[in-house]
Chain A
Amino acid sequence: MVSASPATETVALTADWRDFLALTKPRVMSLVVFTGLCGLIAAPVSINPILGFTAVLCIALGAGAAGALNQWYEADIDALMKRTEDRPLPAGRMDRQSALHFGVGLSFFSVLLLYLATNWVASAILAVSILFYVLVYTVWLKRRTPQNIVIGGAAGAFPPVIGWAAATGDVSLLPVLLFSLIFLWTPPHFWALALFMKTDYAKAGVPMLPVVAGERNTRIQILLYTLPMVAVAVLPWAFHLTGSIYGIFTAGASLLFVVLSLRVGLRQTVVADAMKPEKQLFAFSIIYLFGVFGALAVDRIILA
């Protein structure tokens, strides 16, 4: 019988179930699950509650799998950043092989279960989103270009499309608009974070926009992405794909997003800057996405 070396065995044994849970990035997963659920609710076809629950569960497991594989690949740079140094791999509570096996296993499981519960369209989109996040964003783009989160943002934009496809078996204009909304929301969201975490990213050698192109450029880019984002956000209402609850809420929230982006875009960093407007924009961007998708779901439930 072949046994692992004592060192490997000890490291593998110290991983707690909470460490495996941490590998799935539960906080990121909450937004993914919520947008996926709202995509499912927004669909014009009702789905059996058990199958709907399974679809949302598979979206969560797929996102968790992608998060685990991301942490497996990025263990070296996670160890260099304060925000990520306590994750299971850089903290030494888990060996890389366990993280890889966990991520790959969960990926296959989530895609297969979604296929069995719903249809091949939803299952295929889930597979593409996992592969996109791991291969295109994590492996290819993240360490090479400041456009990493622009292109990589597509991976996080898939959940409402998967939710919609799970219910309907196809993809139409509304889920494409929801995809575009998250895609355009990602750069202002992450660049606001990157502005006040710039030192951490620079230390880890991650070419985020403020590190490579400077803060002034980043602030302008935040504004440039915010404007088409708010336009796309209200398009479902303009196209009569949603009702007035979504439209009025989204118009108001989008206006506030523009105001906060303008505050970030038109200011300059001063000495010992607390970066309050940037932190406010980052926090509000999360509330904004929850709010807009929540309004979509409420709109569909009340007005349908």
Chain B
Amino acid sequence: MTDDEIRQRQRSRAKVMGVLLISLVILIYGISIAKMVVAP
């Protein structure tokens, strides 16, 4: 595997990790709102 290929995979993993982290933040936000609505 060449250095370029390794860098490409690192970038790809970093992008997926970024998307997952943003999704998690949105999900936790959504759960907090939903819990407040369910049990005010």
Contacts and interface: CB of A to CB of B under 8 A. Distances in A.
Contacts of B13: 15-17
Contacts of B33: 50
A15 B16 CA distance: 13
B16 A51 contact: no
A199 to B, nearest CB: 33
Contacts of B10: 13
Contact of A13 (B9, B30, B35, B38): B9
Given A50-B30, A50-B31, A116-B31, A13 B37 contact: no
B1 A48 contact: no
A54 interface: yes
A10 B31 contact: no
A48 B34 contact: yes
A45 B9 CA distance: 45
A14 interface: yes
Given A14-B6, A16-B12, A17-B16, A54 B31 contact: yes
Contacts of A116: 31
A51 B38 CA distance: 10
B9 A54 contact: no
Nearest to B20: A17
Contacts of B9: 13-16
Interface in A209-247: none
Interface string B10-27: 101100110000000001
A117 B31 contact: yes
Closest 5 CB pairs of A and B: A50-B34, A17-B16, A48-B34, A50-B30, A117-B31
Given A10-B1, A50-B33, A51-B34, 16 more contacts: A13-B6, A13-B9, A13-B10, A14-B1, A14-B6, A14-B9, A16-B9, A17-B13, A17-B16, A48-B37, A50-B31, A51-B31, A51-B38, A54-B31, A116-B31, A117-B34
20 contacts: A13-B1, A13-B6, A13-B10, A14-B1, A14-B6, A14-B9, A16-B9, A16-B12, A17-B12, A17-B17, A48-B34, A48-B37, A48-B38, A50-B30, A50-B31, A50-B34, A54-B27, A116-B31, A117-B34, A117-B35
Interface of B: 1, 6, 9-10, 12-13, 16-17, 27, 30-31, 33-35, 37-38
